[in-house]
Structure 1
Amino acid sequence: MNRKVIIAEADLAIAEQLQDWLAELDPNFCIQPVCSDGENALAQIMTQAPGIVFLDVELPRINGVEIARTLVKMKEHPLIVFLASSEKFAAEAFLVDALDYVLKPLDKKKIQHVSKRCHWILRAEEMMETKAVGTDETSELRHLAVDKGDTMEVIDCLNIRFIFSKNRYAYISMKNGDCHEMRISLRDIEKQLPHSLFFRCHRNYIVNVEYIKQIKLWFKRGYLLILKGAEEVEIPVGRAYIEILKEHIKM
């Protein structure tokens, strides 16, 4: 698990406070020297290849959003947490797939929440990498941790029917009718799921192929998925994902 952390923050007092909290919350974090400007931050991120980056959105020279735009073009980029004095850049920040957007002055409980999310995502990625080098299909990650504030609820992936995103949240629809809410991108949650069972059928949807009941033709070249136990929901298949659907369901 890549526990290397880079903090890029123009205010040294804020950076030092964040360093202290992270070290206290997870002693296994490997916290690198603070970067106080964007040019230095980008250079250090490229050199050190951290697993987590805390980015001040208003860094001098190169701001945090511009740095993030560069990072997400990489094949494997770090988890990005923005630090900001207002919500001014929030919408722009989430367009670059940020994990979270933390307002200043920093709150320790919020940092603890972010720290736990980083831990679970990095842990899940590590497990998926371990699975990838094996040959046993049953070694796939079977469980997903859902953040419930002070606790993490572990759910069985086999009981997930579909996942959809709305307003920067992912909503997990379960076999028993429950729906779990997570502030996480579909891209990040997709990494944690067994690829033999789940596939992205639309920019806003991931489905469990075991629950597909019907495939309806939609207009001339589109499709809608009807799932077992959720027949009232019609899930669209984006044109870019039709070939992936055909790989999972022989059509």
Structure 2
Amino acid sequence: MLKCLIVDDEQPAREEILYILKEIGSVEVIGEASHGMEALELIEKLKPDVVFLDIQMPQMSGIEVAKKLLDKNYNLMVIFVTAYDQFALEAFEVNAIDYLLKPICEDRLKRTIQKIISMKEDREGLSYDKLSRLIKDMSSTKSSTPWISVYHNNKLIPIETEDIIYATIEDKNTVIFTNKGKFETNYTLNDLMDKLDPHTFFRSHKSYIVNLKYIESIEPWFHSTYNINLKSVKDTIPVSRSCSKKFREIMNIE
């Protein structure tokens, strides 16, 4: 049985990971912590095999927690949970073996757990291999592109990415909304995010990408979520619980 500890200052984020882990029979969540000091105390007391560690926490960041764990030479595995790929080098230095990007992908989390379980007895190989992948994946830079082209009425239509208001999934297809209209594309939302400026576009939900420059107003909703009202269109864009922390930071919501 793989013993796990979840560390995040936001309860909805902890609940999201907990919900997925409960579906895995060989995993036991032995505790939750809402800040760094509590995490260190529970690690000392409970001796988990794996710690899911949010990077952006007040007072003591996840990076600082992991450094303290490294200093004490704890025999455990750290998985950073974050929306911030700029922490790649620091994650490498404190011996992280894997990472999860918010919003959490259920399949990715399950795959991560299965890999840890299958390699549990070979901790040295696990650490080296995972660290190599981590630094390669998280330090890879992705440049945005000013144009994308989509097929519409048997023609290729060039679209300036800055004209995209939002993108979503409709009937399993990715749809882009612009001032020129609505266009279907073969890109997945993940593909789009790779091509869009991360300072302008935000993945507010697993099914939505929104252009922050088109936000008209923001409505607080239930369970720390939000609804975004946009300029130019009447549609409302949801911000999921797992994305709300990053959204508040970007929009300076206190």
TM range (shorter): 0.3 to 0.5
TM-score in terms of structure 1 length: 0.48
